[in-house]
Structure 1
Amino acid sequence: MMGNDRKAQRVRFDHKHAVSIMGVDGTWRRSCILLDASASGAKLEVDGSTDPLKAQEFFLVLSSTGLAFRRCELIWVDGSQVGIHFVTAKTKGKANPEKRLVRSQ
């Protein structure tokens, strides 16, 4: 079970917030529900296959026009739910792939 070693406090949403994720090259897109978020990451419920997420990096698109987005990297997968970390200039390249936890595929 994960969650007790978080550096940033998460905000859990009572209502469904529809967002989407998109490949950095724009070749794929999936609808998602934003379950919770913090300054450093979020938990999403992905509609459809999580196979494209094997690319490890993608965009979380927060608006229907695509003007609000965050670059992300995949941290874990558990069925249709995924944990993501927001990539910033400070964190780019710092994540250790060996520390990632993929619960199921």
Structure 2
Amino acid sequence: MTYGDRKDPRVKFEAALDSVMIGVDGTWHRECAIADISQTGAKLILKTSMAGLNLREFFLVLTPNGKAYRRCELVRVEGDTIGVRFIAVHKGARRALGLRARV
């Protein structure tokens, strides 16, 4: 699949939106900017070096208060720009103990 072939339409921002990437284990965080985004992924512009970090999976914080975020998987690297796919929680997946909705 080439970079332009996407299933979901993307929203491209006139000015990239500031965001933060956080390691799944919480041991690192880096500032970035969101160039475009869709329901299934995004293109991010790195603001600092990512050398030596595990970028296989990480969280992308979408709001300043941190309440909206997505778990991401690295898809491609092109200089200071990376493509990510959002990792969806499957319907019916079991949640961690203590996080279950009470009925």
The two structures have a TM-score, normalised by structure 2, of 0.79
Q: How many residue pairs align between the two structures?
A: 90
Percent identity between the two aligned chains: 44
Distance, in Å, in 1 between the alignment partners of 2:76 and 2:53 is 10
Q: 2-side partners of 1:46 and 1:35: how far apart?
A: 10
1:48 aligns with 2:48: yes
C-alpha distance in structure 1 between counterparts of 2:65 and 2:84, whole Å: 22
Query: Does structure 2 conserve the Cα–Cα contact (< 8 Å) formed by 1:19 and 1:60?
Result: yes
Large movers: runs of 4+ above 3 Å: 52-55
Contact 2:74/2:85 (CA < 8 Å) preserved in 1? yes
How far did 1:63 drift? Answer: 1.7
Q: Which amino acid aligns with 1:48?
A: T
Deviation, 1:53, is 5.0
Cα RMSD of the aligned pairs, angstroms, is 1.7
Instruction: Considering fraction of residues, name the structure with more helix.
Output: 1
Q: Aligned partners of 2:53 and 2:84: how far apart in 1?
A: 10
Q: Residue 23 of structure 1 aligns to which amino acid in structure 2?
A: G
